[in-house]
Amino acid sequence: MISLLQSDPLAFLLVVLALAFSLALHEWGHAAAALWMGDPTAKEQGRVTLNPLRHLDPIGSLLVLLVGVGWAKPVPVYPPNFRHYRLGLFVVSVAGIVVNLLIATALALSLRYLLEAGLLQSPGAFLRGLVQALAVAASVNLVLAVFNLLPIPPLDGSKILQSFLPLRWHPFVWRLERNPTYAVVALLLLLTVFRQPLGELLSWAREGFFGLFGL
């Protein structure tokens, strides 16, 4: 992302706007799914909205720009309100991931269209910036989806796994998620000790995903 800022400021600006709305849509997906499953907590706190300012976290947003992985403000959810606890936990947890995958797919299809239309050879600065922005934004949305699938609290993947675990284990998972020290340590481990295998996983996911669209 930093190299993109230096080489093409316009593309960088377009990517920043795309990622701001991608993070907001991820959290909106959680909030809307929670309301659909019977929990009005997020709606009562104004989180069922597409306004990025209600969802973005300064540190998480900065990390997305610097390393391609980050987070927004977690959507407040009260699972006992779900009409069906396990189903609600699963649907709400997977909603943000699905949103990011849909965004990545839409952006990849747009790139494919530009490729087939022969517009990638256009000398126009705006079109070149748009193409770069689409590629980077699609990649980051895919990375956010895959990263959030990791079954590590507080990532969405841990709640997806939790929806299948015995109920007696759930209080332990909730305590882990509420522990700020654990969250910081888990993030540091992912960005240091497990950085290489995580990077390989994300690279494999990118190659496979864009390969589906011939990109």
Q: What are the residue numbers of the active site?
A: 27
Residue 213 tokens read as 């669209």
Q: Could you tell me where the DSSP H helices lie in the chain?
A: 2-7, 9-36, 41-44, 58-67, 85-116, 125-148, 156-162, 170-178, 180-191, 195-212
Residues 6+ apart with CB under 8 A from 51: 24
Burial class from Cβ neighbours inside 10 Å (0-12, 13-18, 19+) for residue 204 reads exposed
Are the C-beta atoms of 31 and 42 separated by less than 8 Å? yes
Tokens 């699905």 map to which residue? Answer: 98
Task: Please calculate the CA angle 111-112-117 and round it to the nearest 5 degrees.
Answer: 100
Nearest to 140 by CA among 171, 104, 176: 104
Tokens 């706190």 map to which residue? Answer: 45
CB atoms within 10 A of CB 141: 27
